[in-house]
Amino acid sequence: MVQFVDLDNGARVTTDAFGVMTLSLSRTCTLGELCGELGEFIFEDDLREVDEDLADEPRWEEMSAALRQEGIVASDASLLALPFVVEVDDDVSAKLSE
């Protein structure tokens, strides 16, 4: 899984340089379930509701760092305001269709 932000100039900033992020799901997972699980994985809303220490930590340090390398300063609030989009590659899409 790769987090990304598409910039107004058409460039895409990703967290690739920070390593791979993985999420394990059931083989019977649907696209809708995948999107829901990815949403929780990225936003951690459920975890932040029950863990006060986590609630105070920044959500997207790696994405903020990647954007700073491009000269863009982005807070958690500004990143949270962006649309959440899931792009599924062909291999994952084929697995979901089985």
N- to C-terminal Cα separation, the chain? 20
Are 41 and 89 in contact, with CB atoms under 8 Å apart?
Answer: no
Question: Which residue has better confidence, 28 or 7?
Answer: 7
Band of the pLDDT at 70, cuts 50, 70, 90? very high
pLDDT tens-digit series, residues 56-69: 777 788 889 999 99
Host domain of residue 22: 4-87
Domain-located, residue 94: no
The answer as to whether 45 is a domain residue is yes
96 within domain boundaries:
no
pLDDT above 80 (res 77): yes
Does residue 17 lie within any of the structural domains?
yes
Asked if the structure places residue 95 within a domain, the reply is no
d(CA 88, CA 67): 23
Instruction: Look at residue 91 in the predicted model and tell me its pLDDT.
Output: 84
Whether 92 maps to a domain, the answer reads no
Q: From the CB of residue 71, how many other CB atoms can be counted at a distance below 10 Å?
A: 6
CB 73 within 8 Å of CB 21: no
pLDDT of residue 54: 73
**Structure token digits, residue 80:** 């949270």
Residue 25 placed within a domain = yes
- pTM, full prediction: 0.72
Domains of the chain: total: 1
